Amino acid sequence: MTRWVYRFDEVELAEKAVGGDWEEVRGLLGGKGANLAEMTRIGVPVPPGFTITSEACNAYLVGGGRFPEGLEEEVAAGLAAIEAATGRRFGDPENPLLVSCRSGARFSMPGMMDTILNLGMNAEVTASMAESFGDLRFAYDSYRRLLQMFAGIVLGVNPELFEEVLAEFRERRGVRSDAELTGDDLVEIVERFDQIVTTATGRPFPSDPRIQLDLAIRAVFDSWNGKRAVDYRNAAGIPHDLGTAVNVQAMVFGNRDDRSGTGVAMSRNATTGEPTLEGDYLMRAQGEDVVAGIRQTKPIEALSHELPEVYEELVGYARLLERHYRDMQDMEFTIESGKLWLLQTRNAKRTAQAAVRVAVDMVEEGMISRDEALLRVSPEHVDFFLHPQFAP
């Protein structure tokens, strides 16, 4: 029988299923899922999770929007494995497991569904988290993010309705960022968000975590056939029958406390190619905050002063990943109460200048051969050096 779900620590099984070829593993698990599994295999700290295969997506779409036989049970087993690994339970207010739902096809493409964070929260879980963490703000900030993302992405509620409420509260408090709103503000904001969902959809936000996850998975599958995704594949000549994988992963919280944060980092400088980390991060922030540009991010170098051990660890994993993939990496990370987690890695985009410098350096570091280095420098890269350069 076809297997629809692979845990991140089961990459060998996925390899076996496709006959050992890594490109095929990427096809089955998507780029994000394959790399999360590979990171897990080589000992990089990745929050536990599982990938629903792109084959499951195809079966769902061919079946007219019905889960293929066995998928529901495999998802339940995958969740149980995350529960066992974290010691938390999905939907249990006393000790709740929260998960993210992340789409990821073989090729990244616009129009695919955005990631939803904090699945598994509802009024009860939130109230209990506020109490057990002793942190009203953290709990309600996490919940308002779920409401906002889930409603906008899965239920199709106009995202501006939520932004308007946040703007109103920022104005009321005279602050510029959501991070400066208080716990009491967020309790009120959650109430308003709840009302928005009920009014816009005619029913309350689904409080049952299993229903939340089920709807989120379907929404990722459905997004494969969304207009933007189809148009993009037509333009890019990508086949329509690849399908997308779905990654379900235990949440880690960059918005947990003062020793928590989230960011992106390249293993080398993407402009110059210099062999030092380049990136941005934010303390007390979650997921999209860094790219959203609402708050001023800090350069990654500042982390070496703020949390020196974490910075050193990040440098170490960047090296490990570079040596493993034999290329410069672009990583996403989150720090929860001083503990570093990696959430994504992929080969990094870079300028022509950086491409040449990185290729030369990697030969010197013994990471790649001269022949490989030559293959990595394209004619456009060389063309760049045939014209005069000006310092910015």
Ligand X SMILES: Nc1ncnc2c1ncn2[C@@H]1O[C@H](COP(=O)(O)OP(=O)(O)O)[C@@H](O)[C@H]1O
Which residues form the interface with ligand X (CB under 6 A)?
A: 47, 100, 102, 115, 117, 249-252, 287-288, 332, 334, 343-344
Q: Which of 287, 376, 374 is nearest to 333 (CA)?
A: 287
In whole angstroms, the minimum distance from the beta carbon of 279 to ligand X comes to: 12
Which residues form the interface with Mg ion (CB under 5 A)? 344
Strands 96-97 and 99-105: unpaired
In whole angstroms, the minimum distance from the beta carbon of 176 to ligand X comes to: 22
Residues 227 and 299: their CA atoms lie apart, in Å, by 37
In whole angstroms, the minimum distance from the beta carbon of 20 to ligand X comes to: 27
User: Under a CB-based contact definition with an 8 Å cutoff, are residues 350 and 377 in contact?
Assistant: no
The residue (of 342 and 359) whose beta carbon lies closer to ligand X is 342
In whole angstroms, the minimum distance from the beta carbon of 332 to Mg ion comes to: 5
User: Under a CB-based contact definition with an 8 Å cutoff, are residues 186 and 141 in contact?
Assistant: yes
The residue (of 59 and 117) whose beta carbon lies closer to ligand X is 117
The residue (of 117 and 283) whose beta carbon lies closer to ligand X is 117
CA dist 325 to 71, 189, 368, 390, Å?
Answer: 32, 44, 10, 33
User: Cβ contacts of residue 213 below 8 Å, gap of 6+?
Assistant: 75, 79, 90, 99, 101, 119, 120, 248
The residue (of 223 and 249) whose beta carbon lies closer to ligand X is 249
The residue (of 47 and 206) whose beta carbon lies closer to ligand X is 47
Tell me the HSE value of 341 on the side-chain side, using a 13 A CA sphere.
21
By a kind-dependent CB cut-off of 5 to 8 A, residue 51 interacts, out of ligand X, Mg ion, none, with none
Task: Give the CA angle between residues 285, 93, 101 to the nearest 5°.
Answer: 50
Tell me the HSE value of 234 on the side-chain side, using a 13 A CA sphere.
7
Number of residue whose CB is nearest Mg ion: 344
In whole angstroms, the minimum distance from the beta carbon of 34 to ligand X comes to: 14
In whole angstroms, the minimum distance from the beta carbon of 172 to Mg ion comes to: 33
User: Under a CB-based contact definition with an 8 Å cutoff, are residues 324 and 42 in contact?
Assistant: yes
Give the residues across from 247 on adjacent strands.
51, 102
User: For residue 68, what is the DSSP state?
Assistant: P
The residue (of 273 and 287) whose beta carbon lies closer to ligand X is 287
By a kind-dependent CB cut-off of 5 to 8 A, residue 288 interacts, out of ligand X, Mg ion, none, with ligand X
CA dist 160 to 143, 164, 167, Å?
Answer: 18, 6, 10
The residue (of 37 and 250) whose beta carbon lies closer to ligand X is 250
In whole angstroms, the minimum distance from the beta carbon of 5 to Mg ion comes to: 21
Number of residue whose CB is nearest ligand X: 287
The residue (of 51 and 249) whose beta carbon lies closer to ligand X is 249
Query: Which helix or strand (DSSP H or E) is residue 339 part of?
Result: strand 339-347
By a kind-dependent CB cut-off of 5 to 8 A, residue 102 interacts, out of ligand X, Mg ion, none, with ligand X
User: For residue 19, what is the DSSP state?
Assistant: T
In whole angstroms, the minimum distance from the beta carbon of 95 to ligand X comes to: 17
Residues 190 and 305: their CA atoms lie apart, in Å, by 35
